[in-house]
Amino acid sequence: MELRHAYCIIAHTDPVMLRVLVAMLDHPLNDIFIHIDRRVDITPFKLAKTRWSKVFFLPHRLAVEWGNTVQIDTELLLFEYAREHGPYSYYHMMSGQDLPLRPQDAIHRFMDQEHPHSEFVTVNNEGPDYLQDLEYKTRYYHFFVKSLSDTNHSFSHYWHYGLHGLSIRIQKLMGIRRKYPFELKKSLHFVSITHEFLTYLLAQKALIRKTFAHTLCCDEVFLQSILWNSPFREKLFARADGGVGSMRKVLWVNHKAHVWNRNDLDALRSAPELFALKFTSQDPGLLLAIAEQNGCLEAVQSILQ
């Protein structure tokens, strides 16, 4: 029996970049599931075409706001929708600005043959900054997250920002400290997980929603915490070196993911990771170089020409 993979993608911007990503994931043993933010026009995203893979755009779309628990809902929605079309040996959670750094045959071989049943999730990323960030996002109730990431600095942004800050100060004065039924872990929320763990995770859906209601950015916490407190902890890939556990290459600069450019090509080519984030269609030279490495140059050229 041939082992198949499901790619679950969350996208809201840069439709051309999504088309490039889909072209690089196109493979007879892959299906692709895409969630497009409800607040944007889905039409240009639907131009993504494949030769071999089936592509499914989720009919139920959510407005995915930064920091909000709707991010958790979106991931669970994607995972659930993909499982309905499975089973698959692996389910990959990605953004529309990620790319694979290896051909699909190599990714399948690495996961299905060389490291079968491993869970590619980063959880061991501890340190003072990590612990402080986890504490802030989970200790208090975050009631006013809406519009906090509004880069246009609208009235709604300032209103919710002020309410959010006031709410946290009040909770600090009251000595509020939320309690959790398990040990919390936090890390990059883009992962590659097995069908067995996905089934276990979705069985905890009610617990997840109850536990992480009114938290901040806990799309980086819920899956890692469920896994860490389950028998699947023993299946973690590179558990002793959690930085590469998810096999995603990312460079953080001032708490934001660096956007790779042509100067980074050598670093990307030599990286041990299977995927990287994040990229932009405004750097076609880099995308074409990676497409050539992945054996799909012609397909990507047709998009970028």
- Other Cβ atoms within 10 Å of 71 Cβ, number: 20
Residue 241 has pLDDT above 80, yes or no: no
What are the extents of the domains in the chain? 5-124+183-304, 128-174
Residue 25 has pLDDT above 80, yes or no: yes
CA distance 78 to 7: 9
State the pLDDT at residue 131: 81
CA distance 87 to 304: 34
Q: Among candidates 301, 93, 271, which has minimal Cα distance to 192?
A: 93
Phi, psi of 151 (to 5 degrees): -70, -15
Q: Is domain 5-124+183-304 given the CATH code 3.90.550 in the classification?
A: yes
Q: What is the mean pLDDT of residues 208-214?
A: 95
Amino acid at 72: I
State the pLDDT at residue 132: 84
Residue 73 has pLDDT above 90, yes or no: yes
**Residue 222 belongs to what H/E stretch?**
helix 222-228
Instruction: Please name every residue paired with 120 in a beta bridge, in sequence order, or none if there are none.
Output: 192
Using an 8 Å Cβ cutoff, are 237 and 230 in contact? Answer: no
Strand pairing report for 252-253 and 5-11: unpaired
| Cα 184-86-220 angle, rounded to 5 deg | 20
Confidence label for 146 from pLDDT (cuts 50, 70 and 90):
confident
Using an 8 Å Cβ cutoff, are 305 and 18 in contact? Answer: no
Amino acid at 52: W
**Residue 202 belongs to what H/E stretch?**
helix 195-203
Residue 129 has pLDDT above 90, yes or no: no
Confidence label for 242 from pLDDT (cuts 50, 70 and 90):
low
Q: Is 77 helix (H, G, I), strand (E, B) or coil?
A: helix
- Per the prediction, the chain carries an average pLDDT of 92
Structure confidence by residue, pLDDT tens digits, 38-62: 999 999 999 999 999 999 999 999 9
